[in-house]
A and B are shown apart, each in its own frame.
Chain A
């Protein structure tokens, strides 16, 4: 890289002078500019784009590694199965429900927290640090803690606290929850909301702190109520950040594997597409079907990503124009 860029800065000087073979020099200059970029670009194309092309090809094959002799072209058969098989269709619904619920809940709670943290109070820095902590527990570890230490029906902390509160009032029959078997998807949602709220809070807090304060002060002087300021000044400013947080969160949560795998092992209707695909190829060895499901996830992600890209791009342009 060093030699390549050294060449640019030197030719950058000479290019200003009139020269006979300016065109070829210009081309060399352009390539010299590209040179530092190429290793990263080539590497990424090989490791991410090539495998996806292979996935696309496999998705049209009838391929089960347990009976390799039956491998044949299957046309759209795998896609029909993905959309009609009850388990896989359930996985699509679960993925959508899980993603929407987690993103909305963590955005709302994150917004509340960001608004609180935007105020001045004693120990604000420490409170912020405490609020980030859930995001900094390894996801598998967090799911394990939720499964065994918090939600366990016999000795989990949540039931423990219920027992304790009820005993304060002399009751020996406290209500006991068993979220993991009664509402397993809820258990997954709750643990993910806990982990992702700090992410939303950080993005929204950054948005709040970039708010131009002079208009807020002017509105205050004109006697605007806090609600009016929030509704007409803060919220419009935060819109981009809400979109960014929501869409980035969606991209990460659509792909979630750790929480589903750990908390419920995909049982009782909690298998989302990543988990179902993992099972389809890793245990059922249905390579063609797993690939088709993978392509469906990509199509779904592209739809979300189109919006995400637009949002990121608008912030990006703003930053680049500064």
Chain B
């Protein structure tokens, strides 16, 4: 069994304190070439501001009035107002974005819960007590992620139409679950692989039951990983457009589908577009910044730490 189990990082040999100290110690011994760092700092800051400028401009414009938003040159110092947000929430049009926001939240949260419920046991069977040929299984999961959604969307659409699941949020939830499951399995496996094997064996020798081992040894190591996995699955579901556009309509339409209503221009509406973009991006911005440290690991399917 020990040959099949992925080895824990060597720093973790002496238990959880050493495990925690592992990455931190590596960060400390890393000696950056600190020369030229003023130049690098200025360049990095200029580029950071350039990259963030569209986001800053989006937020600023969302607080401008429509007439101030559509000027050339731009009116940076124009008075701030909440009118665009009131408009977005349907003050004059009466069209509320709330149903679509609630649909998005429902689809993202419930699919994330389902993903975790399926991925955590699967990751357990791929790391802590691995099945034979567990690497093959890992690559099967990964290969499904490589199939473009467009290659499967027509049969899914036809199936949904036949069984009356079109415009049904539950069908979309199942789609999002399958979309995120491979990512979650890969991420969770890389987190569970960090559980020190020696501790598992020691606990077993001491006669600890499975529940106790799960609670006392696996959970403390895996919890941050579960949180990061959940946040990344949430982001991907919240962002998704193609499946939602094809499979939902007026009832189960999600926030990105609602946003497509702004694709063609409608006179003076720039501030309203910006307000819409801010409101709909807020959950992702929060989730993303919260998961910042684990973002790379998630996006690289656990390959990069």
Once bound together, how far apart are the Cα atoms of A30 and B129, in whole Å? 10
User: In this assembly, does A33 line the interface, its C-beta being within 8 Å of a C-beta of chain B?
Assistant: yes
The stretch that binds A, out of B25-33, B89-97, B221-229, is: B25-33
Of the candidates B27, B41, B142, B211, the one having the most CB atoms from chain A within 10 angstroms of its own CB is B41
Q: Which residue of the partner chain B has the closest CB to A42?
A: B118
Q: Give per-residue flags for A272-314: 1 if the beta carbon is below 8 A from chain B beta carbons, else 0.
A: 0110011001100001001101110110011001001100110
Q: By the criterion CB–CB under 8 Å, are A131 and B47 in contact?
A: yes
Q: By the criterion CB–CB under 8 Å, are A51 and B57 in contact?
A: no
Q: By the criterion CB–CB under 8 Å, are B142 and A309 in contact?
A: yes
Q: By the criterion CB–CB under 8 Å, are B148 and A298 in contact?
A: yes
Once bound together, how far apart are the Cα atoms of A260 and B98, in whole Å? 26
Interface residue total, chain B, C-beta cutoff 8 A: 119
Interface residue total, chain A, C-beta cutoff 8 A: 129
Q: By the criterion CB–CB under 8 Å, are A144 and B7 in contact?
A: no
User: In this assembly, does A73 line the interface, its C-beta being within 8 Å of a C-beta of chain B?
Assistant: no
Q: List residues of A (1-31) whose CB comes within 8 Å of B's CBs.
A: 1-2, 5-6, 8-9, 12-13, 30
Chain A interface, >50% SS class: helix
Q: Which residue of the partner chain A has the closest CB to B268?
A: A155
User: In this assembly, does A199 line the interface, its C-beta being within 8 Å of a C-beta of chain B?
Assistant: yes
Once bound together, how far apart are the Cα atoms of A64 and B177, in whole Å? 30
Q: By the criterion CB–CB under 8 Å, are B270 and A37 in contact?
A: no
Q: By the criterion CB–CB under 8 Å, are A301 and B148 in contact?
A: yes
Contact A312-B142, Cβ < 8 Å, known A40-B121, A118-B32, A144-B259:
yes
Chain B contacts of A132 at CB under 8 A? 288-289, 292, 295
User: In this assembly, does B216 line the interface, its C-beta being within 8 Å of a C-beta of chain A?
Assistant: no
Once bound together, how far apart are the Cα atoms of A61 and B178, in whole Å? 27
Chain A contacts of B251 at CB under 8 A? none
Chain B contacts of A51 at CB under 8 A? 152-156, 159
User: In this assembly, does B73 line the interface, its C-beta being within 8 Å of a C-beta of chain A?
Assistant: yes
Chain B contacts of A84 at CB under 8 A? none
Contact of A138 among B49, B69, B72, B277 (CB under 8 A): B277
Q: By the criterion CB–CB under 8 Å, are A37 and B125 in contact?
A: yes
Chain A contacts of B27 at CB under 8 A? 209
Q: By the criterion CB–CB under 8 Å, are A160 and B178 in contact?
A: no
Q: By the criterion CB–CB under 8 Å, are B148 and A137 in contact?
A: no
**Closest chain B CB from A167 CB (angstroms):** 7
Q: By the criterion CB–CB under 8 Å, are B277 and A141 in contact?
A: yes
Of the candidates A58, A120, A140, the one having the most CB atoms from chain B within 10 angstroms of its own CB is A140
Contact of B54 among A1, A121, A145, A278 (CB under 8 A): A145
Q: By the criterion CB–CB under 8 Å, are B284 and A140 in contact?
A: no
Once bound together, how far apart are the Cα atoms of A5 and B255, in whole Å? 40
**Closest chain A CB from B138 CB (angstroms):** 8
Q: By the criterion CB–CB under 8 Å, are A301 and B147 in contact?
A: yes
User: In this assembly, does B248 line the interface, its C-beta being within 8 Å of a C-beta of chain A?
Assistant: no
Q: List residues of A (135-165) whose CB comes within 8 Å of B's CBs.
A: 135-142, 144-150, 152, 154-157, 159-161, 163-164
Q: By the criterion CB–CB under 8 Å, are A257 and B242 in contact?
A: yes
Chain A contacts of B299 at CB under 8 A? 199, 202-203, 248
**Closest chain B CB from A266 CB (angstroms):** 12
Q: List residues of B (117-165) whose CB comes within 8 Å of A's CBs.
A: 118-119, 121-122, 124-126, 129-132, 135, 137-159
Chain A contacts of B296 at CB under 8 A? 202-203, 205-206
Q: By the criterion CB–CB under 8 Å, are A119 and B40 in contact?
A: yes
Q: By the criterion CB–CB under 8 Å, are A136 and B288 in contact?
A: yes
**Closest chain B CB from A27 CB (angstroms):** 12
Chain B contacts of A245 at CB under 8 A? 300
Q: By the criterion CB–CB under 8 Å, are A278 and B74 in contact?
A: no
Q: Which residue of the partner chain B has the closest CB to A198?
A: B51
List the 10 closest A-B pairs by CB distance, nearest first: A121-B41, A36-B121, A141-B277, A54-B155, A136-B288, A47-B178, A40-B122, A51-B152, A51-B155, A164-B73
A contact set with B: CB distance below 8 Å: 1-2, 5-6, 8-9, 12-13, 30, 33-37, 39-41, 43-44, 47-52, 54-55, 58, 112-113, 116-124, 126-142, 144-150, 152, 154-157, 159-161, 163-164, 167, 194, 197-199, 202-203, 205-207, 209-210, 213, 216-217, 220, 226, 241, 244-245, 248, 251, 254-255, 257-258, 261-262, 265, 273-274, 277-278, 281-282, 287, 290-291, 293-295, 297-298, 301-302, 305, 308-309, 312-313, 315-316, 319-322
7 chain-A/chain-B pairs, Cβ below 8 angstroms = A123-B45, A131-B52, A134-B55, A138-B238, A157-B54, A312-B142, A316-B303
